[in-house]
Amino acid sequence: MDKTTAATGAYEARTAKHGIKIIIWSLAWAGSMIFADMAAAYQWFPSEWMTLLSIAANFGTGVGVVLAYMKFLKDQDELQRSIQLNALGLAVGVGLVGGFTYSLLVTTGYIVDEEVTDMILLILGTYMAGVAVGQIRYR
C-alpha cells in the first residue's frame, strides 16, 4: 500500500472540512443574532422591514448551520453516525420531557423567570454529553 495515500487521511480531511463549514455558519448565525438583537434594542433601523430583514437573515444563516450539519452527518462513517444518532435521540428526548416539565414548573409558579435559552442549553448540553459518552464508549 502506498504510504503517501495512507498519510492523506481522506476521511479525516473531509470531516475537518465539514467541521470548518459548521463553525463558519455557526459564527454567521450567532453574529446575525447578536446584530438583530442589538439593532432592535438600540433601534438602529429606521423602518420595520429592515428589522424583519435582519431576523430573516438570522433565520437564513440558521438554516445554513442545519444544512452544514446534515451534510456532516451524511459523510460520517457508520460508527460516528451511530454515536451521533444516539446523542441526538437523547437530546430530543431530554428536550421533549424537559420542556414539558419546565412548562409545568412555570405554570405552577416554581419557575418565575422563564427563559427559552434554558431549554436550548439543556438540549445542547445533553447532545454534547451524548457524543462524549459515545466517543469514550468506543475508544
Partner 1 sequence: MKNKLKVLRAERDWTQADLANELDVSRQTINAIEKGKFDPSLPLAFKAARLFEMAIEDIFTDVTGQ
To the nearest whole angstrom, how small is the minimum distance from the Cβ of residue 54 to partner 1? Answer: 40
CB of 18 to partner 1, least distance (A): 13
Closer to partner 1 by CB, 18 or 95: give it: 18
Cβ-based neighbour number of residue 56 at 10 Å: 13
Q: Is 59 exposed, middle or buried (0-12, 13-18, 19+ CB in 10 A)?
A: middle
Contact residues toward partner 1 (CB under 8 A) are 1, 3, 5-6, 8-12, 15, 77-80, 82, 135, 137-139
State the cell numbers at 64.
Answer: 445554513
Q: Shortest gap between Cβ of 19 and partner 1 (angstroms)?
A: 13
How many CA atoms are closer than 13 Å to the CA of 85, on its beta-carbon side? 8
Least Å from the CB of residue 98 to partner 1: 30
Nearer to partner 1, 6 or 112 (CB): 6
Q: Which of 78/113 has CB closer to partner 1?
A: 78
Q: Which three cell numbers stand for residue 85?
A: 444518532
The backbone torsions φ and ψ at residue 16, rounded to the nearest 5 degrees and listed phi first, read: -65, -40
